[in-house]
Structure 1
């Protein structure tokens, strides 16, 4: 059947979701491929969603005023500074659609969040990837030097997904000052809650100083609402107005709105879970280092093994032990931090990997 479609779509890759694990040799399977929060929603959040179920025959409030006001209050900004979407990835798409015309450039480090080049291409703009620095972080000097009159948006992922590297406040501020003021600099802070680096760049601080800065946050990671899809941008009112125009109507469901509100009211409880995940991250990182595996420091809820040509063999070993991870052939492996049982399995695999790959390590 010859169905009309956009030219070049046949060469356009689909976003690849984290692989679902399969049990192996009687081992319980753990999914560590999607950076999900391993803990269930808080009871108060479940109750809020449950109460909203009786009205799902009705459209949600498109403006989501109560949630918008709550987020604005949380960050001491105005509601006119908040744009919502079905996850921060959808808000990132809004920014690209609102700020670019066909053929304009959208810059990002690479490797970084896998969706960036897909979102850019889908919007008709042109991806402008800049290789990472040797430490797995953004090469901000190279990015600043690569800006052209066609560059309209720059994504800066901090901490970077998938490497976990963090950028300092001084480095990011210097970069923003080097970029023309008509270029939107998006600080993507999907993993901000796990970032304990003392000198890290803080998106809201940069936003307050530079009107061309937008900040992306999500409820998918620390808040554990990945299945409900909720994220937002903090940006200048002029940009927020444009984002709302290109947003999918009713894209933020009533259930997501109520879950977001309840989560903001339960941040003290959520902080305890974040502390647990950060502690587990440190334990796993130290053990992987002790096992001789090439793991980088991370300020996110995942760790990056810089495994290069050994990636395939390592990925197979994880799968044989009922662990799904995110493998990037020829580059490395991203492993989400799970609950203690899952993390113990990671360490068991690390010990096997040391013996299996000793000639290559």
Structure 2
């Protein structure tokens, strides 16, 4: 771009996997109510939220651990249990995994995806006597693929009892329930399995940072000392409690996102793209050496998307219908070779 020309305004932010649905009923009111009490300690250790989540998932409160977002919980878990060994994960997957692993003082072992999905057999083959944790992402970010109960159980049958399995289910509420493994049920059965979830995506509390981990009581006990330094704010706790009370609306909103996601997927495939079926709120596009060019092209028209995994592909969040229609149109133009940018007017 010419440095003298104004940059186009970002009209559609589709690089962060945000949820564009309205805040759930009661969330605004809970935030306002909490704002009058932020000078007080109140439930510093989130005992009330922990009990409510435990009731929600059908477990005892000793099997639930609350933290300030799933990223913080992932880091706490890895740091607590890795002991300087190896952590195995699929790749491409959540872009922060390599950083989290290294921050925990562990050695990352990345296993390539097969057909855009976790190659659980290859991951099992990657286990050595130094492997401490297997980190699984279901649905996988950025490809959106899932593995089911049968696949996960077959995988667990091959994993030694000394290795912990941590399943990241940040996008599970957008997935087809008949296709995705029931991680929380398995965590209740198998002491090796832990599941981390977040209120940031399906519940729309990205700006407040609330997450929880479901695990064996011994795992929760080992994590608890760290909670004194990774607390959930009063405002975030109250908002999460309100969001849980609006479960039916959350499910409706997720179904609407999923329907729009599938509509966009059909649009991409009709343009001739090989796009994996996504169970998240995003799509994974591959233009090969033109990935970065596609990102720049979208940016010219005020649509922000991003390349991931060292440029292996482009992740595009499912946005509003208007944003999604624009993405499909830009993709059509890009594939047709019509790659002229938007007029330099200072807005897209």
Give me the TM-score of the superposition, normalised by structure 1: 0.88
Q: Which of 281, 286, 290 pairs up with 1:306?
A: 286
CA shift, 1:126, in A, is 1.2
Report the counterpart of residue 336 of structure 2 in structure 1. Answer: 355
Query: What aligned pairs does 1:31-70 form with structure 2 within 5 A after superposition?
Result: 31-59=13-41, 61-70=43-52
CA shift, 1:357, in A, is 7.8
1:161 maps to 2:141: yes
CA shift, 1:114, in A, is 1.1
Q: Distance in 1 between matches of 2:258 and 2:317?
A: 12
**Structure 2 vs 1, CA of residues 23 and 173 (structure 1 numbering), >3 Å: closer, same or farther?**
farther
Q: Which of 75, 90, 93 pairs up with 1:109?
A: 90
Q: Distance in 1 between matches of 2:116 and 2:334?
A: 22
Q: Distance in 2 between matches of 1:101 and 1:271?
A: 39
Verify the 8 A CA contact 1:197 1:299 in the aligned structure 2.
Answer: no
Query: What aligned pairs does 1:178-197 form with structure 2 within 5 A after superposition?
Result: 178-196=158-176
**Structure 2 vs 1, CA of residues 292 and 116 (structure 1 numbering), >3 Å: closer, same or farther?**
same
Q: Which segment is superposed worse, 320-329 or 112-121?
A: 320-329
CA shift, 1:151, in A, is 0.8
* Runs of 5+ consecutive residues of structure 2 not aligned to the other structure: 1-5, 340-348
1:175-209 CA distances to partner (integer Å, 9 max, x unpaired)? 11111112110111110101115232110121122
CA shift, 1:284, in A, is 0.6
Verify the 8 A CA contact 2:271 2:332 in the aligned structure 1.
Answer: yes
CA shift, 1:294, in A, is 3.1
1:61-112 CA distances to partner (integer Å, 9 max, x unpaired)? 232111101100011100000111111111111111110223x111110111
1:287 maps to 2:267: yes
Report the counterpart of residue 336 of structure 1 in structure 2. Answer: 317
| Paired residue total | 333
Verify the 8 A CA contact 1:62 1:250 in the aligned structure 2.
Answer: no
CA shift, 1:23, in A, is 6.9
1:243 maps to 2:223: yes
**Structure 2 vs 1, CA of residues 168 and 40 (structure 1 numbering), >3 Å: closer, same or farther?**
same
Query: What aligned pairs does 1:137-156 form with structure 2 within 5 A after superposition?
Result: 137-156=117-136
* Runs of 5+ consecutive residues of structure 1 not aligned to the other structure: 1-21
Report the counterpart of residue 9 of structure 1 in structure 2. Answer: none
Report the counterpart of residue 128 of structure 1 in structure 2. Answer: 109
1:256 maps to 2:232: no
CA shift, 1:332, in A, is 0.5
Report the counterpart of residue 5 of structure 1 in structure 2. Answer: none
Q: Which of 280, 295, 298 pairs up with 1:318?
A: 298
Report the counterpart of residue 204 of structure 2 in structure 1. Answer: 224
1:20-52 CA distances to partner (integer Å, 9 max, x unpaired)? xx973xx76111111110123124111011100
Report the counterpart of residue 12 of structure 2 in structure 1. Answer: 30
Q: Distance in 2 between matches of 1:43 and 1:210?
A: 35
Verify the 8 A CA contact 2:45 2:231 in the aligned structure 1.
Answer: no
Report the counterpart of residue 3 of structure 2 in structure 1. Answer: none
Verify the 8 A CA contact 2:70 2:211 in the aligned structure 1.
Answer: yes
Q: Distance in 2 between matches of 1:330 and 1:253?
A: 36
1:171 maps to 2:151: yes
Verify the 8 A CA contact 2:146 2:179 in the aligned structure 1.
Answer: no
1:90-147 CA distances to partner (integer Å, 9 max, x unpaired)? 1111111110223x111110111111111111111111111111x1111111110111
**Structure 2 vs 1, CA of residues 61 and 72 (structure 1 numbering), >3 Å: closer, same or farther?**
same
Q: Which secondary structure does the structure 1 equivalent of 2:261 belong to?
A: helix
Q: Distance in 2 between matches of 1:52 and 1:321?
A: 40
Q: Distance in 2 between matches of 1:310 and 1:317?
A: 10
Verify the 8 A CA contact 1:88 1:230 in the aligned structure 2.
Answer: yes
Verify the 8 A CA contact 2:117 2:140 in the aligned structure 1.
Answer: yes
1:302-344 CA distances to partner (integer Å, 9 max, x unpaired)? 0001222221121111111211112135410000101111111
